[in-house]
Structure 1
């Protein structure tokens, strides 16, 4: 790796760690719904991480947050599909969008979490741990959490973009 590539890698790793840490710290705000714990700020962090860092770093931050939250007892196993797919979808959408429309990638968070994550939770994870709850239940509970979180993330991204416009590029964070 060249020096610039190492520097960029290190910046992304540190920022992904900061996003994961923020997710853990903000995990005190959760709403229990059946076997899940809805956590709107995780989805806000997914939007920010996906748009700023890209899909793979965002998934890594969401995974790390889910692991730590489960170890602390503030999360459930449903935190994994409930966060990682949203982060992935936001990152992929942000990659496909022009720079000035990155905040629109927040719309992909509910699709990743509320559809794909809910399907994984209902069809794979739930039966594996003995929780037989249907897709509609998971979809509803995940959407209750991810829609407000994605909206907060979109607003924060929009504010960041306006702030970063002074430095000419949104990618200046990394």
Structure 2
């Protein structure tokens, strides 16, 4: 790898890290100021955007950073477990298929099923909740994921139609 390629690679890594932090902050601010009891649809909105624009791993890191910030501001461990699976699964699906609609399904399955089931043992361990079933959180997580992922897909479709999405993704390659 020559010097020019190293500079371009370093520049793209910096862009990805900055965008990861920006998506985490966007999700945190939206979830803080637009509050729904027991729901965080804007987390899923940002997860879908970051999964497509940044990819699964940076999208997952963005969700993790936001979840940690939400925990530090008084939320439970569910702020992390309910967020990190969606962008990873949605991003992997998008990476394989390039289908924006399937990112929706990945976000809903990742959050509504895997995130909800990952929350169960952690809520028992850290908070001592006496919940009887590992499926307890699924009805709470899924509606939030559906609403937020639908908003994210709508924005991505608008960006794709205008040609902005392709330019954004190409700039990060």
Shared fold, TM over 0.5: yes
TM-score, structure 2 as length reference: 0.87
* Structure whose alpha-carbon radius of gyration is higher: 2
Aligned equivalent of 2:72: 71
Mapping of 1:1-174 within 5 angstroms? 2-28=6-32, 29-32=34-37, 37-73=38-74, 75-98=75-98, 101-122=99-120, 124-129=121-126, 130-133=128-131, 134-164=133-163, 169=167, 171-174=169-172
Extract unaligned runs of 5+ from structure 1.
none
Given that 1:164 and 1:172 are in contact with CA atoms closer than 8 Å, whether structure 2 keeps it comes out as: no
Given that 2:56 and 2:89 are in contact with CA atoms closer than 8 Å, whether structure 1 keeps it comes out as: yes
The 4+ residue runs of structure 1 with deviation greater than 6 A are none
Q: Count residues in correspondence.
A: 165
Given that 2:44 and 2:86 are in contact with CA atoms closer than 8 Å, whether structure 1 keeps it comes out as: yes
CA distance in 1 between partners of 2:55 and 2:129 (Å): 33
- SS across alignment from 1:136: coil
CA RMSD of aligned residues (A): 1.8
Extract unaligned runs of 5+ from structure 2.
none
Specify whether residues 131 and 109 from structure 1 end up closer, same or farther in structure 2 by C-alpha distance, changes over 3 A only.
same
